[in-house]
């Protein structure tokens, strides 16, 4: 499993990605959890309360095919 994450606090956009070796959605839980944890960590670095950072958030997900499975990417753009 490979991963990455990045934050751009100037425009309040956070992005994270994780790859999994399964193409079956029922197997993606850990990868999705890792992606959301990274988004919350990036927001915390900008001063947000980690436990509440993603509550009520609209997060765009993109799932793309890889050689061995899928890549799950998330982008969260905050208002304000």
Q: Is the pLDDT of residue 17 over 70?
A: yes
Q: Which helix (H) or strand (E) holds 3?
A: strand 3-8
CB atoms within 10 A of CB 62: 10
The pTM of the full predicted model, rounded to 2 decimals, is: 0.80
Task: Decide: 70 and 23 in contact? Cβ < 8 Å.
Answer: yes
Name residue 73's beta-bridge partners.
17, 62
Higher pLDDT among residues 26 and 52, named by residue: 26
CA-to-CA distance for 16 and 50, rounded, in angstroms?
16
Q: Is the pLDDT of residue 10 over 80?
A: no
Q: Is the pLDDT of residue 2 over 90?
A: no
The Cα-based distances of 13 to 27, 32, 36, 68, 69 in angstroms read 27, 18, 13, 29, 26
């Amino acid at each position: 499993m490979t991963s990455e994450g990045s934050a751009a606090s100037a425009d309040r956009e956070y992005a994270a990605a994780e790859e999994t070796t399964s193409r079956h959605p029922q197997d993606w839980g850990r990868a999705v959890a890792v992606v959301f944890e990274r988004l919350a960590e990036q927001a915390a670095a900008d001063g947000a309360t980690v436990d509440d950072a993603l509550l009520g958030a609209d997060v765009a997900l993109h799932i793309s095919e890889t050689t061995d499975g899928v890549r799950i990417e998330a982008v969260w753009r905050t208002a304000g």
